[in-house]
A and B are shown apart, each in its own frame.
Chain A
Amino acid sequence: MNETVAAHATRFVEAVGYPFTSAGRTLATVGFAAVTYALLILSSFPTYSMQMLAAGPGYLDDAVVALTANTYASVGTLALALTVVYAVVTGIAITTAIGRIRHAGEVSARGLSSVLPGLLASGCASCGAGLLGTLGFVGALSTLPFDGNLLRLAGLLLLVAYLSRLGDPRYCAMPSATGGE
């Protein structure tokens, strides 16, 4: 059991370290993280974001700044921090997954679906919007435990689990004695 945990921890560290093994990978990771953050934040009020972006790409920064301020005001520092961490870990996961494709020619893209809980939880609890609101569940996020922070945390854990299975994509993972991958 302990060996399994240790193997997962090792692979997780390797996976997290991979995007920083070259300048290109680092830049790509930062880019993926920035795009993910923008998507998470913009999805906190989809109808607003769509109207702003439809009016012109010049409104993108206005929308991201306004919704960041709104997320902070409505769900607080912890939720905003979780969103940032979520975006960064997603950036790492995407870069690592691409590395896996390039080096091994296959990837379990299923793990990237871990980003979905974060999207669902990204609605601002105090404006009742977000994807849940758009789907008709107005104010739903207000009723979720800790204004959706548990959902954000669950999504984050799924991403961590994905990375701990992936490891460094340049090397094949060695099965551990207790059944690692």
Chain B
Amino acid sequence: MAGPDSSTTRRAMLAGMGTVVAGGGIVYGASRLEGDSADGSASNESNESNGAQLHSSTATTGFGIDLGGHPILGAMDAPVDVYYWSDYQCPFCRRFEQNTFPQLVENHVRPGTVRYVFIQYPYLSESSTTAAIMDRCVWRQVRDADPGRYLDWHSAIFDAQGTKGSGWASRENLLEITAGVEGVDADAVGTCMDEHGTEIEAEIDADVQQARQFGIRGSPAFVLYNREADRAGKLVGAQPYDRFDSAIDRVKDA
């Protein structure tokens, strides 16, 4: 398992190779996997190239993340990818969203150092899956015309987070929250869930399986990836901002 203070490749991470002491510099050999396409060449990006804008892409990154269906926050040419796995029912994810994420956006995404890729990792209950499917439907709806609405919806859901099993994440309640988010059509989201729910759930299942291959066992979880150098590090849990700050610098300079 990769530590935050070191970097490793995707293959090393898949093999569960551990790293290194804090401040250490063990870096495994390059290992771009066959079939991975170079990232950023594709597709459907917004016209903005800098700042905290949301983008979509159908490319697959050198780390093996298929960007299709995932909101990407930040400049598409940012040197560091942060893959962010979360579950809307996870209180630790909410802690990250409220305490750390805004600073990361301000200090790393907006200046163009980092782009965030949101990946659903629902595993706590059926409601987690419901929320994850709804997330993908909301993104499908807004990604072309008004992608910034996704973050409004995403934040609204985390702000409304209640106790697991309390029913706050039922489809009905989530759609009610959705109806309160300007620029998102809750009825259309419901229709998307009805018509494409099965297909989207299969995509999410594939994402969850891939996350487990990376050794992810809880949420939130993050892989920081330097696309050019093909080096990555992993952070788990809602760690303080300075931990992300130093990990991003380390991966950027890898």
Beta-carbon contacts of A138-171 to B below 8 Å, as 1s and 0s?
1100100000000000000000000000000000
* Contact in complex: B239, A125 (CB < 8 Å): no
* Contact in complex: B3, A51 (CB < 8 Å): yes
* Contact in complex: B243, A55 (CB < 8 Å): yes
**Which of B63-71, B84-92, B134-142 lies at the interface?**
B84-92
Given contacts A54-B22, A62-B240, contact A47 B218 (CB under 8 A): yes
A-B contact pairs, 19 of them (CB 8 A): A45-B218, A48-B239, A54-B21, A54-B22, A55-B5, A69-B91, A70-B92, A73-B91, A73-B163, A74-B164, A126-B90, A126-B92, A127-B219, A128-B87, A128-B124, A128-B219, A133-B218, A138-B123, A138-B218
* Contact in complex: A126, B235 (CB < 8 Å): no
Total number of B residues with any Cβ neighbor in A under 8 Å: 29
Total number of A residues with any Cβ neighbor in B under 8 Å: 28
Is residue A89 contacting chain B, with contact meaning CB distance below 8 A? no
* Contact in complex: A139, B123 (CB < 8 Å): yes
* A76 CB contacts on chain B under 8 angstroms: 163
> In the complex, A48→B240 CA distance in Å?
11
Is residue B156 contacting chain A, with contact meaning CB distance below 8 A? no
Task: Give the residue of A52, A55, A127, A133 whose beta carbon is less than 8 angstroms from that of B90.
Answer: A127
What does DSSP make chain B's interface, helix, strand, loop or mixed? loop
Task: Give the residue of B1, B22, B89, B95 whose beta carbon is less than 8 angstroms from that of A55.
Answer: B22
Is residue A124 contacting chain B, with contact meaning CB distance below 8 A? yes
* A139 CB contacts on chain B under 8 angstroms: 123-124
> In the complex, A134→B237 CA distance in Å?
13
Is residue B212 contacting chain A, with contact meaning CB distance below 8 A? yes
**What's the nearest-Cβ distance from chain A to residue B1, in Å?**
7
**What's the nearest-Cβ distance from chain B to residue A73, in Å?**
4
Given contacts A47-B1, A51-B3, A139-B123, contact A124 B237 (CB under 8 A): no
Q: Which 9 pairs of residues, A with B, have the shortest CB-CB distance?
A: A48-B237, A129-B218, A73-B91, A133-B217, A47-B236, A139-B123, A127-B92, A126-B164, A127-B218
* A56 CB contacts on chain B under 8 angstroms: 22
- Given pairs A69-B95, A126-B90, A142-B164, 15 additional interface contacts (CB within 8 A): A48-B218, A48-B236, A51-B235, A51-B236, A51-B239, A52-B237, A52-B243, A55-B5, A70-B91, A73-B94, A73-B163, A74-B91, A74-B164, A127-B92, A128-B90
**What's the nearest-Cβ distance from chain B to residue A144, in Å?**
13
Kindly identify, within residues 42 to 65 of chain B, every residue whose CB is under 8 Å from any CB belonging to chain A.
none
Is residue A66 contacting chain B, with contact meaning CB distance below 8 A? yes
Beta-carbon contacts of A59-102 to B below 8 Å, as 1s and 0s?
10010001001100110100000000000000000000000000
> In the complex, A124→B87 CA distance in Å?
14
Task: Give the residue of A47, A74, A125, A138 whose beta carbon is less than 8 angstroms from that of B237.
Answer: A47
* A74 CB contacts on chain B under 8 angstroms: 90-92, 164
Beta-carbon contacts of B172-200 to A below 8 Å, as 1s and 0s?
00000000000000000000000000000
